[in-house]
Structures are given as structure tokens and as C-alpha cells.
């Protein structure tokens, strides 16, 4: 299947919540030991479409697990956790591609923190592209100014290291990927990860 067509199919499945119906059918099938619910969906929407929806659910589970593990590692480190919002000004949005802007974010985060996780998001009103990231570092004024000078704006929010935040942050970052697939049917989205490093942050900071 053509990649463009595949992303359009995925976007339609997500926008109509068909993948949630498939997930529910899988649950009932496991519970009752048959494929009745799944077969009904296949008859209604086609086997190929249901297979795509199933693959979305499998990828979602793997992605969520990886994000959760990465965030849990961040919470385990002896450092200050910061939640970032990175935006782009009009000139950057007009003159660069989404992939280029993703590279800008990845390069800047690499300077900002040895450990991080980030993903793209889009404004609810105007669909304006921006990024959210969780980092384990104090962002220097010079680094923040570098982003503001070349890209747009950066906002900071300190994260409490409690169980509520530990559960909420990975769910939120994973949700952005789901949202991004809906909004950019021809591209999809990949979460940005650092290469996990075993660092004693109590000595670094």
C-alpha cells in the first residue's frame, strides 16, 4: 500500500475511533475465547482496515511502554525535572519543513540535557506546530536565548516528583503522538528520545 494512502487510512481510523472499537473487540474475544466481535468488525469495515487498526493499537502499546520506561528513568535520577514547550516563529514555520524543525528540536535538546523525551503537538485553535519535552536539567539562560534567537520561544515548568506526575507525564507525551498522526496524515510522528545514559546527576548539578 502507498505510504500516503496508509497514513490517510490511519488518520481516518483514529478520527473515527475505530481502533478503540478493535481494542474493545480484542478484549471481549480474549474474555470469551472466540473472534465473534472482531469478525463483526471485519465484515463491516474490511479485514485490511481492521488489521491496520490492530497494528495502530500494537504500536500504541509499545510506544506507551517505551515512553513510560523513559520517563520513569528520568524520575529516578537525582536532578530537577523540567517540562518544556518549544514554539516556532512565523519565519521558521514558513521557511522549514516539519522534519527540519524536528531536527532543530533534537539538536537543542541534546545540548539542554543528557536525558530527555519530546514530541510534536498542534494548537487546538489554529493547529500551530510546537513541541513538548521533559528534560532532566536546569536550562541555562544562554541556551534558552539561543532557541529564542533562532527558532521561536521556550517556556519552562518545573515538575514535582510525585506519583501523580509520574503517571500523568508519559500518558500525556504518548497522547501527543496519537494526535500528531491525526493532524499530519502524510507524515505521522516519532517521539524524540535521548540515548539513555547512566549519570550521577547529584555530581553534575
Strand partners, 26: none
Angle at 194 between CA 120 and CA 98, to 5 degrees: 30
Burial class (CB in 10 A: 0-12, 13-18, 19+), 138: middle
Would the pTM of this model clear 0.95, i.e. be above it?
Answer: no
The string of DSSP codes covering the chain is --HHHHHHHHHHHHHTTHHHHHHHHHHHHHHHTS-HHHHHHHHHH-HHHHHHHHHHHHHHHHHHHHHHHHHHHHHHSSS-EEEEEEEE-HHHHHHS-HHHHHHHHHHHHHHH-SSEEEEEEE-TTT--EEEEEEEESPPPHHHHHHHHHHTEEEEEEEPP-SHHHHHHHHHHHHHHHHHHHHH-TTT----EE-------HHHH-
C-alpha to C-alpha distance for 194 and 112, rounded to whole angstroms: 11
Residue listed under C-alpha cell 480474549: 30
Calculate what percentage of the chain has a pLDDT beyond 90.
Answer: 37
Q: Do residues 154 and 144 make contact, with C-beta atoms less than 8 angstroms apart?
A: yes
The band of 204, judged by pLDDT with boundaries at 50, 70 and 90, is very low
Mean local confidence (pLDDT), 192-196 = 78
Cα–Cα distances (Å) from 112 to 9, 105, 164, 202, in that order, read 37, 10, 25, 17
Mean local confidence (pLDDT), 15-34 = 90
pLDDT score at 199 = 52
Q: pLDDT at residue 178 above 70?
A: no
The band of 181, judged by pLDDT with boundaries at 50, 70 and 90, is low
Query: Between 1 and 117, where is the model more confident?
Result: 117
Query: Between 181 and 97, where is the model more confident?
Result: 97
- Listed by start position, the domains of the chain span 3-71, 78-204
Mean local confidence (pLDDT), 72-88 = 89
Q: pLDDT at residue 90 above 50?
A: yes
Calculate what percentage of the chain has a pLDDT beyond 70.
Answer: 87
C-alpha cell read off for 52:
491496520
Residues in the chain: 205
Which CATH architecture does the domain made up of 78-204 adopt?
Answer: 3-Layer(aba) Sandwich (3.40)
C-alpha to C-alpha distance for 120 and 104, rounded to whole angstroms: 12
Q: What is the pLDDT of residues 27-65, one digit of tens each?
A: 998 888 888 899 999 999 999 999 999 998 888 788 778
pLDDT score at 159 = 87
pLDDT score at 184 = 47
Q: pLDDT at residue 158 above 80?
A: yes
pLDDT score at 186 = 39
Q: What is the pLDDT of residues 98-133, one digit of tens each?
A: 899 999 999 999 999 888 888 888 887 778 899 999
C-alpha to C-alpha distance for 74 and 70, rounded to whole angstroms: 6
Amino acid at each position: 500500500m502507498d505510504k500516503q494512502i496508509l497514513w490517510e487510512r490511519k488518520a481516518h481510523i483514529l478520527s473515527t475511533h475505530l481502533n478503540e472499537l478493535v481494542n474493545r473487540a480484542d478484549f471481549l474475544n480474549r474474555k470469551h475465547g472466540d473472534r465473534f466481535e472482531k469478525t463483526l468488525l471485519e465484515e463491516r469495515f474490511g479485514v485490511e482496515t481492521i488489521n491496520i487498526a490492530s497494528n495502530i493499537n500494537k504500536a500504541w502499546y509499545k510506544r506507551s511502554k517505551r515512553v513510560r520506561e523513559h520517563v520513569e528513568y528520568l524520575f529516578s535520577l537525582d536532578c530537577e525535572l523540567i517540562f518544556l514547550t518549544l514554539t516556532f516563529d512565523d519565519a521558521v514555520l514558513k521557511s522549514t519543513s516539519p522534519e527540519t524543525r524536528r531536527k532543530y528540536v533534537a539538536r537543542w535538546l541534546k545540548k539542554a540535557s543528557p536525558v530527555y523525551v519530546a514530541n510534536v503537538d498542534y494548537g487546538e485553535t489554529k493547529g500551530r506546530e510546537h513541541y513538548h519535552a521533559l528534560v532532566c536539567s536546569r536550562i541555562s539562560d544562554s541556551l534558552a536565548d539561543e532557541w529564542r534567537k533562532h527558532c521561536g520561544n521556550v517556556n519552562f515548568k518545573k515538575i514535582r516528583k510525585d506519583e501523580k506526575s509520574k503517571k500523568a507525564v508519559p500518558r500525556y507525551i504518548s497522547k501527543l503522538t496519537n494526535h500528531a498522526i491525526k493532524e499530519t496524515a502524510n507524515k505521522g510522528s516519532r517521539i524524540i528520545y535521548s540515548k539513555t545514559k547512566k549519570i550521577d546527576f547529584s555530581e553534575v548539578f
